[in-house]
Structure 1
Amino acid sequence: MKLTYRGTDYEYNPLDGDTVLGKDGGKYRGAIWRFHYVKHENIPQFAADLKYRGVAYHVGETLQTDKAVEVASTQATPDTTIRLHRTHLTNLRRNLEHRLAIAKANGDESLVSLLQEEANQLVL
Protein backbone atom coordinates (compact mmCIF):
# COMPACT_ATOMS: atom_id res chain seq x y z
CA MET A 1 0.00 0.00 0.00
CA LYS A 2 1.55 3.29 -1.09
CA LEU A 3 1.08 6.18 1.36
CA THR A 4 2.13 9.81 1.50
CA TYR A 5 2.81 11.83 4.63
CA ARG A 6 3.76 15.52 4.36
CA GLY A 7 5.11 15.04 0.88
CA THR A 8 7.10 11.91 1.66
CA ASP A 9 6.04 8.74 -0.15
CA TYR A 10 6.52 5.42 1.53
CA GLU A 11 5.36 1.85 1.12
CA TYR A 12 3.30 0.38 3.96
CA ASN A 13 3.22 -3.40 4.26
CA PRO A 14 1.09 -4.61 7.15
CA LEU A 15 1.97 -7.89 8.83
CA ASP A 16 0.59 -10.94 7.10
CA GLY A 17 0.66 -13.00 10.30
CA ASP A 18 -2.31 -14.91 11.61
CA THR A 19 -4.36 -13.21 14.29
CA VAL A 20 -6.32 -14.80 17.09
CA LEU A 21 -9.50 -13.30 18.48
CA GLY A 22 -9.35 -12.60 22.18
CA LYS A 23 -12.05 -11.91 24.70
CA ASP A 24 -14.53 -9.09 24.28
CA GLY A 25 -12.90 -5.73 24.86
CA GLY A 26 -16.13 -3.81 25.31
CA LYS A 27 -18.62 -1.83 23.29
CA TYR A 28 -17.93 1.19 21.13
CA ARG A 29 -20.91 3.05 19.66
CA GLY A 30 -23.08 0.00 20.19
CA ALA A 31 -20.75 -2.46 18.46
CA ILE A 32 -18.82 -5.12 20.35
CA TRP A 33 -15.12 -5.06 19.71
CA ARG A 34 -12.60 -7.76 20.55
CA PHE A 35 -8.88 -7.86 21.08
CA HIS A 36 -6.93 -9.20 18.10
CA TYR A 37 -3.66 -10.88 19.01
CA VAL A 38 -0.91 -11.86 16.62
CA LYS A 39 -0.41 -15.61 16.69
CA HIS A 40 3.08 -16.29 18.04
CA GLU A 41 5.24 -18.92 16.49
CA ASN A 42 7.93 -20.73 18.41
CA ILE A 43 11.31 -19.67 17.11
CA PRO A 44 14.12 -22.12 17.77
CA GLN A 45 16.90 -20.68 19.89
CA PHE A 46 20.33 -20.54 18.33
CA ALA A 47 23.40 -21.81 20.11
CA ALA A 48 26.50 -19.65 20.23
CA ASP A 49 29.68 -19.16 22.19
CA LEU A 50 29.88 -15.48 23.09
CA LYS A 51 32.26 -13.26 25.02
CA TYR A 52 31.33 -10.14 27.02
CA ARG A 53 34.07 -8.01 28.59
CA GLY A 54 36.49 -10.88 28.40
CA VAL A 55 34.18 -13.45 30.01
CA ALA A 56 33.16 -16.34 27.78
CA TYR A 57 29.65 -17.76 28.00
CA HIS A 58 27.35 -19.99 25.97
CA VAL A 59 23.74 -19.35 24.96
CA GLY A 60 21.30 -21.89 23.60
CA GLU A 61 21.51 -25.56 24.38
CA THR A 62 23.34 -26.48 27.56
CA LEU A 63 26.87 -27.74 27.25
CA GLN A 64 28.14 -30.91 28.87
CA THR A 65 30.78 -30.12 31.50
CA ASP A 66 33.49 -32.47 32.68
CA LYS A 67 33.72 -31.40 36.32
CA ALA A 68 32.11 -29.02 38.75
CA VAL A 69 33.93 -25.81 39.55
CA GLU A 70 34.41 -25.00 43.23
CA VAL A 71 33.21 -21.58 44.29
CA ALA A 72 35.07 -19.62 46.94
CA SER A 73 33.27 -19.11 50.23
CA THR A 74 31.76 -15.66 50.69
CA GLN A 75 31.14 -15.98 54.42
CA ALA A 76 33.19 -13.67 56.59
CA THR A 77 35.59 -15.36 58.95
CA PRO A 78 35.28 -14.54 62.67
CA ASP A 79 38.67 -12.76 62.58
CA THR A 80 37.49 -10.52 59.73
CA THR A 81 34.26 -9.72 61.54
CA ILE A 82 36.13 -8.73 64.71
CA ARG A 83 38.58 -6.51 62.78
CA LEU A 84 35.69 -4.89 60.92
CA HIS A 85 33.88 -4.16 64.20
CA ARG A 86 37.04 -2.63 65.72
CA THR A 87 37.60 -0.45 62.65
CA HIS A 88 33.99 0.71 62.75
CA LEU A 89 34.23 1.69 66.43
CA THR A 90 37.53 3.49 65.80
CA ASN A 91 35.94 5.52 63.00
CA LEU A 92 32.92 6.37 65.17
CA ARG A 93 35.20 7.55 68.01
CA ARG A 94 37.35 9.63 65.67
CA ASN A 95 34.27 11.29 64.16
CA LEU A 96 32.83 11.96 67.63
CA GLU A 97 36.11 13.49 68.88
CA HIS A 98 36.21 15.76 65.83
CA ARG A 99 32.62 16.91 66.35
CA LEU A 100 33.32 17.48 70.07
CA ALA A 101 36.42 19.59 69.32
CA ILE A 102 34.43 21.75 66.88
CA ALA A 103 31.59 22.19 69.40
CA LYS A 104 34.08 23.24 72.12
CA ALA A 105 35.79 25.67 69.71
CA ASN A 106 32.42 27.26 68.88
CA GLY A 107 31.47 27.41 72.57
CA ASP A 108 28.24 25.43 72.09
CA GLU A 109 27.78 23.92 75.56
CA SER A 110 24.48 22.17 74.78
CA LEU A 111 26.05 20.34 71.83
CA VAL A 112 29.11 19.48 73.95
CA SER A 113 26.89 17.87 76.59
CA LEU A 114 24.98 15.90 73.91
CA LEU A 115 28.23 14.68 72.35
CA GLN A 116 29.60 13.64 75.77
CA GLU A 117 26.44 11.60 76.38
CA GLU A 118 26.91 10.01 72.96
CA ALA A 119 30.53 9.21 73.86
CA ASN A 120 29.38 7.52 77.10
CA GLN A 121 26.93 5.38 75.11
CA LEU A 122 29.65 4.48 72.62
CA VAL A 123 31.95 3.21 75.39
CA LEU A 124 29.34 0.69 76.51
Structure 2
Amino acid sequence: MKLSYRGVSYDYNPPVLDSVESELTGQYRGRPTIFHYARHMSVPQPAHTLTYRGAQYSTDGRVPAPKPVVDSLPVNVPLIYRSDVSSFNAVAKTHLDNIRKSAERRLQMARERGDEQLVRLLENELKQVAS
Protein backbone atom coordinates (compact mmCIF):
# COMPACT_ATOMS: atom_id res chain seq x y z
CA MET A 1 0.00 0.00 0.00
CA LYS A 2 1.49 3.32 -1.10
CA LEU A 3 1.18 6.06 1.52
CA SER A 4 2.45 9.58 1.82
CA TYR A 5 3.08 11.53 5.01
CA ARG A 6 4.16 15.20 4.86
CA GLY A 7 5.44 14.76 1.36
CA VAL A 8 7.37 11.56 2.04
CA SER A 9 6.09 8.55 0.14
CA TYR A 10 6.53 5.09 1.52
CA ASP A 11 5.22 1.62 0.95
CA TYR A 12 3.34 0.24 3.96
CA ASN A 13 2.65 -3.44 4.30
CA PRO A 14 0.61 -4.05 7.46
CA PRO A 15 1.40 -7.26 9.29
CA VAL A 16 -1.01 -10.06 8.55
CA LEU A 17 -2.89 -11.20 11.60
CA ASP A 18 -3.83 -14.84 11.53
CA SER A 19 -7.41 -15.02 12.79
CA VAL A 20 -9.83 -17.79 13.62
CA GLU A 21 -13.59 -17.68 13.33
CA SER A 22 -15.36 -18.10 16.63
CA GLU A 23 -18.18 -20.52 17.22
CA LEU A 24 -20.14 -17.61 18.63
CA THR A 25 -22.38 -15.68 16.31
CA GLY A 26 -24.44 -12.64 16.97
CA GLN A 27 -26.34 -9.81 15.39
CA TYR A 28 -25.20 -6.28 14.83
CA ARG A 29 -27.84 -3.81 13.62
CA GLY A 30 -30.04 -6.68 12.46
CA ARG A 31 -27.39 -8.50 10.43
CA PRO A 32 -25.74 -11.78 11.44
CA THR A 33 -22.17 -11.36 12.62
CA ILE A 34 -19.39 -13.89 12.97
CA PHE A 35 -16.72 -13.00 15.49
CA HIS A 36 -13.05 -13.39 14.57
CA TYR A 37 -10.31 -13.87 17.13
CA ALA A 38 -6.58 -13.66 16.69
CA ARG A 39 -4.88 -17.02 16.75
CA HIS A 40 -2.71 -17.13 19.83
CA MET A 41 0.93 -17.69 19.25
CA SER A 42 3.17 -18.58 22.12
CA VAL A 43 5.55 -15.80 22.98
CA PRO A 44 8.57 -16.85 25.00
CA GLN A 45 8.60 -14.99 28.30
CA PRO A 46 11.88 -13.71 29.69
CA ALA A 47 13.22 -15.59 32.68
CA HIS A 48 14.25 -13.41 35.59
CA THR A 49 15.56 -14.36 39.00
CA LEU A 50 13.95 -11.98 41.47
CA THR A 51 14.19 -11.45 45.21
CA TYR A 52 11.33 -10.53 47.52
CA ARG A 53 12.10 -9.97 51.20
CA GLY A 54 15.21 -12.07 50.95
CA ALA A 55 13.54 -15.05 49.22
CA GLN A 56 14.59 -15.70 45.66
CA TYR A 57 12.17 -16.87 43.00
CA SER A 58 12.17 -17.14 39.23
CA THR A 59 9.56 -16.07 36.68
CA ASP A 60 9.98 -19.27 34.65
CA GLY A 61 9.02 -21.57 37.52
CA ARG A 62 12.51 -22.85 38.32
CA VAL A 63 13.48 -22.81 41.98
CA PRO A 64 16.98 -21.38 42.49
CA ALA A 65 19.34 -23.30 44.75
CA PRO A 66 19.11 -22.06 48.33
CA LYS A 67 22.09 -20.26 49.79
CA PRO A 68 24.01 -22.16 52.46
CA VAL A 69 22.80 -21.39 55.95
CA VAL A 70 25.31 -19.50 58.07
CA ASP A 71 25.58 -20.50 61.72
CA SER A 72 23.69 -18.03 63.84
CA LEU A 73 25.45 -15.98 66.45
CA PRO A 74 24.35 -16.10 70.09
CA VAL A 75 22.07 -13.25 71.04
CA ASN A 76 22.43 -11.51 74.36
CA VAL A 77 18.96 -11.25 75.89
CA PRO A 78 18.49 -8.02 77.86
CA LEU A 79 17.91 -8.33 81.58
CA ILE A 80 14.36 -7.07 81.24
CA TYR A 81 13.38 -10.16 79.21
CA ARG A 82 15.04 -12.80 81.37
CA SER A 83 12.70 -14.81 83.51
CA ASP A 84 13.08 -13.84 87.13
CA VAL A 85 11.08 -16.42 89.05
CA SER A 86 11.29 -14.71 92.42
CA SER A 87 9.92 -11.39 91.15
CA PHE A 88 7.18 -13.24 89.24
CA ASN A 89 6.15 -15.10 92.39
CA ALA A 90 6.13 -11.86 94.38
CA VAL A 91 3.91 -10.15 91.81
CA ALA A 92 1.54 -13.14 91.70
CA LYS A 93 1.30 -13.18 95.52
CA THR A 94 0.56 -9.44 95.61
CA HIS A 95 -2.10 -9.87 92.94
CA LEU A 96 -3.85 -12.67 94.84
CA ASP A 97 -3.69 -10.61 98.07
CA ASN A 98 -5.37 -7.69 96.28
CA ILE A 99 -8.11 -9.96 94.92
CA ARG A 100 -8.68 -11.43 98.40
CA LYS A 101 -8.84 -7.99 100.06
CA SER A 102 -11.28 -6.73 97.44
CA ALA A 103 -13.53 -9.78 97.88
CA GLU A 104 -13.45 -9.41 101.69
CA ARG A 105 -14.39 -5.73 101.41
CA ARG A 106 -17.28 -6.56 99.07
CA LEU A 107 -18.37 -9.39 101.40
CA GLN A 108 -18.46 -7.01 104.37
CA MET A 109 -20.58 -4.50 102.41
CA ALA A 110 -22.97 -7.27 101.28
CA ARG A 111 -23.43 -8.41 104.92
CA GLU A 112 -24.17 -4.82 105.97
CA ARG A 113 -26.86 -4.55 103.28
CA GLY A 114 -28.26 -7.99 104.13
CA ASP A 115 -27.90 -9.43 100.60
CA GLU A 116 -27.63 -13.17 101.36
CA GLN A 117 -27.29 -14.29 97.75
CA LEU A 118 -24.31 -11.94 97.18
CA VAL A 119 -22.80 -13.08 100.50
CA ARG A 120 -22.90 -16.72 99.32
CA LEU A 121 -21.34 -15.80 95.95
CA LEU A 122 -18.54 -13.82 97.60
CA GLU A 123 -17.84 -16.60 100.11
CA ASN A 124 -17.48 -19.04 97.18
CA GLU A 125 -15.13 -16.57 95.47
CA LEU A 126 -12.98 -16.35 98.62
CA LYS A 127 -12.80 -20.16 98.79
CA GLN A 128 -11.59 -20.25 95.16
CA VAL A 129 -8.96 -17.57 95.81
CA ALA A 130 -7.73 -19.40 98.94
CA SER A 131 -7.22 -22.69 97.07
Kindly name which structure, 1 or 2, has the bigger radius of gyration based on alpha carbons: 2
Indicate whether the TM-score tops 0.5.
no
TM bracket (short chain): 0.3 to 0.5
What TM-score do you get using the length of structure 2 for normalisation? 0.39
